C-alpha cells in the first residue's frame, strides 16, 4: 500500500497524470532555484479504461503507461501519481503537543475512524504534523488525508504492470496548488498575496481550486469537460477517435475555425459553470471576489477562451503555462510541450513534488 502526503526529499521522479483520455508524463531536474524539463510525453487512453475518476481497465492503462514512457525516452522508473480530490477525505485534528510520532499515528488511526465512512481496513491513510495550534499552545495540528485503498491500488497496479514503481500517491488538488505556486509570480500584478481561482477543464470533470496566499481554501468539481466538445467536433467533422487537441494540431478541415454548432454551445455552458462555481465559493466563504482566474486542463487549449472568460466575468483570466520560467531540454519537443502546457498542471505539480 502506497500513500503519502509527507514532504519528503526524493530523487528524480516522474510525474504521471492519469486522466480518462490520456496518460501524461513529466520529468524535471533542478539546479539551484532553476527547473528544467528533462522528459515529457502524452499517450492516449482507450475509451472506457476509466469512467470519470474510477479505473475500469488496469491493463489498458498499463499499456498507455508503457507507451508514454517510450515516447518520453526516460530511463527513470520511479513515479508519483495522484488521486482526485473528490475521492479524498481530509481533516485537521488537534492532539497533545507532547505526543511522539508513534503516539500521533495511533491517535490518528483512532480519531480518523470517526470521520471516515468506510471500514478502516479499506482505507489508505496518511498524516502530516502542521505545528503548534495558535489558539491552544499545548496542542498541535495534524493534517489527515484518507482515500479508499481500491482507488489507490488500481493506479499503483496499473503503473507496476506498465513497468513503473509508484513512490508516492498525492492528491490532484495539492498538485495543482504546487504548480500554481510555481507560476504565481508570472501572473499580472503577481499572485503570491492574491486570491486565485484555477479552473481545470478536464475531459470529463471540471474542477475549481481557489488559492489565497498560495494555499488552497476551496475546491469543487463539476461533471463537465472537453469530451463534450470533442464528441461534437468529431461528429461534425467525422474525426473518429481523435482528441480535439490532436485534430487541431494536425490541421483537420475546419477545426481551426470551429462552427457555432460545435464550439458555441460548449462556451455557453462553460461560462455559467465557472460563474456558478465561483458563486458557490463566495457563498461558502467571506470572500466576494477573486483577483485572477487561471485556465488549465485540456479545455483550456481552446483559442481565445481566456479572453472570453475575462470579458464575461470581468475578472482577469490567463491560460496556465507551468513551464514559463523553466529551461527545456533539447530532447523535448518544445512545440508540443508548449501546446500541451495548460493540460500539464497536475503533471507538473506532481513532478515538482520531487523537490
Q: Please give the backbone phi and psi of residue 63, each rounded to the nearest 5 degrees, phi first.
A: -65, -40
Cβ atoms < 10 Å from Cβ of 132: 13
Pick the CATH number of 88-148 from 3.30.450.20, 3.30.1490.300, 3.40.50.1370, 2.60.40.1180: 3.30.1490.300
Instruction: Please answer whether residues 64 and 198 qualify as being in contact, where contact means their C-beta atoms are separated by less than 8 angstroms.
Output: no
Give CA–CA dist 195/213, Å, rounded: 7
For the segment 262-268, the average pLDDT, to the nearest whole number, is 77
Angstrom CA distances, 71 to 43, 46, 291, stand at 8, 17, 39
Cβ atoms < 10 Å from Cβ of 3: 21
342 Cβ neighbours under 8 A, 6+ residues apart = 295, 296, 297, 298, 300, 301, 319, 320, 321
Q: Which grid coordinates are listed for 343?
A: 493540460
What are the sequence ranges of the domains in the chain? 88-148
Greater pLDDT, 266 or 18: 18
DSSP conformation class of 199: E
pLDDT digits (tens, 9 = 90+) for 28-72: 999 888 999 999 999 999 888 988 788 999 999 999 999 999 999
Q: Please give the backbone phi and psi of residue 153, each rounded to the nearest 5 degrees, phi first.
A: -65, -30
Give CA–CA dist 101/162, Å, rounded: 35
pLDDT digits (tens, 9 = 90+) for 186-235: 777 666 678 999 999 988 889 999 999 888 899 998 888 777 776 666 66
Whether the predicted pLDDT of 5 surpasses 70: no
Amino acid at each position: 500500500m502506497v500513500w503519502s502526503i509527507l514532504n519528503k526529499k526524493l530523487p528524480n521522479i516522474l510525474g504521471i497524470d492519469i486522466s480518462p483520455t490520456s496518460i501524461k508524463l513529466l520529468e524535471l531536474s533542478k539546479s539551484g532555484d532553476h527547473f528544467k524539463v528533462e522528459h515529457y510525453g502524452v499517450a492516449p487512453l482507450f475509451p472506457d479504461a476509466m469512467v470519470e475518476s474510477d479505473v475500469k481497465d488496469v491493463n489498458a492503462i498499463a499499456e498507455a503507461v508503457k507507451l508514454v514512457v517510450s515516447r518520453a525516452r526516460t530511463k527513470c522508473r520511479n513515479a508519483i501519481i495522484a488521486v482526485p480530490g473528490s475521492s479524498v477525505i481530509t481533516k485537521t485534528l488537534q492532539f497533545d503537543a507532547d505526543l511522539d510520532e508513534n503516539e500521533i499515528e495511533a491517535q490518528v488511526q483512532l480519531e480518523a475512524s470517526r470521520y471516515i465512512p468506510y471500514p478502516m481496513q479499506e482505507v489508505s491513510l496518511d498524516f502530516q504534523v502542521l505545528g503548534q495550534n495558535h489558539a491552544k499552545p499545548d496542542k498541535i495540528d495534524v493534517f489527515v488525508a484518507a482515500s479508499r485503498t481500491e482507488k489507490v491500488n488500481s493506479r499503483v497496479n496499473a503503473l507496476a504492470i506498465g513497468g513503473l514503481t509508484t513512490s508516492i500517491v498525492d492528491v490532484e488538488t495539492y498538485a495543482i496548488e504546487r504548480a500554481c505556486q510555481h507560476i504565481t509570480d508570472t501572473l499580472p500584478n503577481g499572485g503570491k498575496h492574491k486570491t486565485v481561482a484555477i479552473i481545470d477543464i478536464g475531459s470529463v470533470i471540471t474542477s475549481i481550486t481557489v488559492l489565497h496566499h498560495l494555499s488552497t481554501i476551496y475546491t469543487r468539481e463539476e461533471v463537465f469537460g472537453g469530451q463534450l466538445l470533442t464528441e461534437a467536433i468529431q461528429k461534425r467533422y467525422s474525426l473518429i477517435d481523435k482528441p480535439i487537441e490532436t485534430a487541431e494540431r494536425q490541421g483537420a478541415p475546419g477545426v481551426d475555425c470551429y462552427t457555432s454548432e460545435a464550439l458555441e454551445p460548449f462556451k455557453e455552458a462553460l461560462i455559467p459553470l465557472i460563474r456558478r462555481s465561483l458563486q458557490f465559493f463566495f457563498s461558502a466563504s467571506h470572500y466576494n471576489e477573486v483577483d485572477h482566474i487561471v485556465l488549465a486542463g485540456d479545455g483550456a487549449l481552446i483559442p481565445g477562451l481566456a479572453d472570453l472568460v475575462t470579458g464575461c466575468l470581468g475578472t482577469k483570466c490567463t491560460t496556465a503555462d507551468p513551464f514559463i520560467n523553466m529551461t527545456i531540454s533539447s530532447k523535448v519537443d518544445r512545440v508540443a510541450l508548449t501546446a500541451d502546457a495548460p493540460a500539464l498542471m497536475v503533471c507538473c505539480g506532481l513532478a515538482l513534488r520531487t523537490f
